[in-house]
Copies of this chain bind each other. A is one copy, B any other.
Amino acid sequence: MHTLQTCQELDAADTLAPLRQQFSLPEGVIYLDGNSLGVLPTAASARVAEVVSQEWGQGLIRSWNSAGWFELPRRLGDKIARLIGARPGEVVATDSTSINLYKVLSAALNIAAEDAPARKRIVSERSNFPTDLYIAEGLCRERGYTLQLVEPEDIAAALTADVAVLMLTHVNYRTGAMHDMAAVTRAAHAAGILTVWDLAHSAGAVPVDLNGARADFSIGCGYKYLNGGPGAPAFVWVNPRHADRFWQPLSGWWGHANPFAFTPDYQPAPGIGRYLCGTQPIINLAVLECGLDTVLAAEPLGGMTALRTKSLALTDLFIALVEQRCGGYGLGLATPREHAARGSQVCLTRDEGAFAIVQALIARGVIGDFRAGDGGLGRHKDILRFGLTPLYIGFEDVWHAVEHLRQVLESGEWQKPEFNQKHAVT
């Protein structure tokens, strides 16, 4: 039986609690949406002022060298590598998740076209993040492939001899369900299929071991659990056994073997360098580094393993409190109970009112978000989504969040008209 007091005791015993001091959080807010946009590292304000006023304003063009701008995608890539089981030099921070997916999926299709030209299918999950499906759909149209969308339980059966690539998001954005990356990759490889993993809801949230899983390609997002700021550059990793094999199609100057020679013909850089393309948004990259540093600050305290332990304790607590205190209000659980199958979020379902309940919670300062059931196709129920980021969320926060949820349901305040007006949400 959890009480406010037992939650406070968990916070008092939490060795990761001091990490919260790295962030500037609004007063009166319990922020359970770090899986959509991470919070502001306090260091970012001073850093961005330095980049703008000093590096740009005073250093001007000289800062490409003197301030290390040109090295940022690789320097940040090396920091991200420490969080996802990659080695130094294997990752770059660049462009958006969608664009990086286009690069790696193109490269994967090029490899498949050479090694197994009869394989003309990409398999993914129907509830994968839509932009991943859109990018795959575009490439399929362009190259004569078919995109086959299946439910998670049907993935194994879909790994047939005509499949070139299995493209999955490691932790599902809607449900928080997590794939066993090593096992799924083994199954794909046994069937002669390459794997592309989207780590948008994994990097900085759960331990990832890309090399250990022998994954083929991976991309991820900088502005969710990595706290890199709105629209922060994404990242891309390619297994070294594939990295030198093909150009990716976005062959811009920053991916050139000798970018300052200004030769008219393209020669790709060795390794992950060729996955760079054009000039990068330096200010956002500098801010992303502040975000990465907030996660790496956990390394002396046990790193991703310790963060994962706390994350599971937070999500366990959230589920237990909802069941203990919000019974009888029609809530269901979309997130798996099994630890190995769960990311760092808890998703609840409700037959009606999910959108309005989320709005009522936001009005009380408890920020989660709403996700419609399967793109409005009605295959799944609407979802109330709560991301629990162990870097800055504590156990007492969970208590209060669930208590607000209970009050919103008990009072029926979610039925007020102002909470039922849908507008654009992200």
Contact = CB atoms under 8 A, between A and B. Distances in A.
Interface of A: 24, 26, 29, 31, 33, 36-37, 39-40, 44-45, 48-49, 52-53, 55-58, 60-65, 69-70, 95-99, 102, 126-128, 130-131, 133-135, 137-139, 141-142, 149, 223, 229-234, 247, 249-254, 256, 260-266, 277-285, 287, 362, 367, 369, 371-372, 374-377, 423-426
Contacts of A63: 230
A377 B426 CA distance: 50
A128 B262 CA distance: 10
A408 B15 CA distance: 62
Contact of A61 (B61, B65, B253, B367): B367
Contacts of A282: 229-231, 284
A59 to B, nearest CB: 8
A264 B133 contact: yes
Contacts of A279: 96-98, 223, 230-231
A102 B249 CA distance: 9
Given A61-B33, A264-B375, A283-B287, A250 B137 contact: no
B61 A40 contact: no
Contacts of A369: 61
Contact of A232 (B95, B230, B281): B281
Nearest to A31: B60
Contacts of A97: 278-279
Contacts of A367: 60-62
18 contacts: A37-B56, A40-B52, A45-B57, A49-B49, A52-B229, A56-B229, A64-B426, A95-B96, A96-B280, A98-B253, A98-B279, A137-B266, A229-B283, A230-B282, A233-B281, A282-B284, A283-B284, A283-B287
A141 B45 contact: no
| A-B CB proximity, top 3 nearest | A96-B278, A98-B278, A98-B252
B264 A99 contact: no
Contacts of A149: 264
A67 B131 CA distance: 23
Contact of A281 (B65, B231, B425): B231
A53 B139 CA distance: 39
A282 B288 CA distance: 12
Contact of A53 (B31, B45, B57, B131): B45
Contacts of A284: 281-284
B283 A250 contact: no
Given A44-B52, A283-B287, 4 more contacts: A24-B57, A60-B367, A130-B256, A264-B375
Nearest to A230: B282
A57 B252 contact: no
Nearest to A58: B26
Contact of A377 (B33, B40, B60, B263): B263
A61 B36 contact: yes
B60 A39 contact: yes
A234 B279 CA distance: 9
Contact of A425 (B65, B254, B264, B374): B65
